[in-house]
Amino acid sequence: MNEAEALARLQRMTDATSDPELTADDLADCLAMSKLVDENGLAPSAPSWTPTWDLNRGAAEGWRRKAGKLAMRFDFSTDGQQFQRSQAVAHCERMAEQYRRKVFSSVPVPGTMARSDD
Which pLDDT score is estimated for 28?
97
Alpha carbon of 93 to those of 25, 49, 61: distances in Å? 21, 33, 10
Residue 105 is assigned to a structural domain of this protein: no
Domain that holds residue 18: 3-100
**Where are the extended beta strands (E) located within the chain?**
76-78, 81-83
81 DSSP β-pair partners: 78
Residue 114 is assigned to a structural domain of this protein: no
Residue 14 is assigned to a structural domain of this protein: yes
Contact 104, 60 (CB under 8 A): no
Which pLDDT score is estimated for 26?
97
Residue 75 is assigned to a structural domain of this protein: yes
Residue 69 is assigned to a structural domain of this protein: yes
The mean predicted confidence, pLDDT, of the chain is 88
Burial pattern 94-113, b for ≥16 Cβ within 10 A else e, equals ebbeebeeeeeeeeeeeeee
Radius of gyration of the chain (CA): 19
Residue 54 is assigned to a structural domain of this protein: yes
Which pLDDT score is estimated for 78?
81
Of the two residues 25 and 113, the one the predictor is more confident about is: 25
- The closest alpha carbon to 56, from 94, 23, 90, 13, belongs to 13
One-letter amino acid at 117 equals D
What does the alpha-carbon distance between residue 36 and residue 66 come to, in Å, rounded to a whole number?
A: 23
Residue 43 has pLDDT above 70, yes or no: yes
Q: Which of 37-46, 56-65, 85-94, 104-113 has the weakest average pLDDT?
A: 104-113
Confidence of residue 104 (pLDDT cuts 50, 70, 90): confident
Residue 117 is assigned to a structural domain of this protein: no
The stretch 13-36 carries a mean pLDDT of 96
Which pLDDT score is estimated for 67?
94
Total domain count, the chain:
1
Of the two residues 95 and 84, the one the predictor is more confident about is: 95
Residue 35 is assigned to a structural domain of this protein: yes
Which pLDDT score is estimated for 96?
96
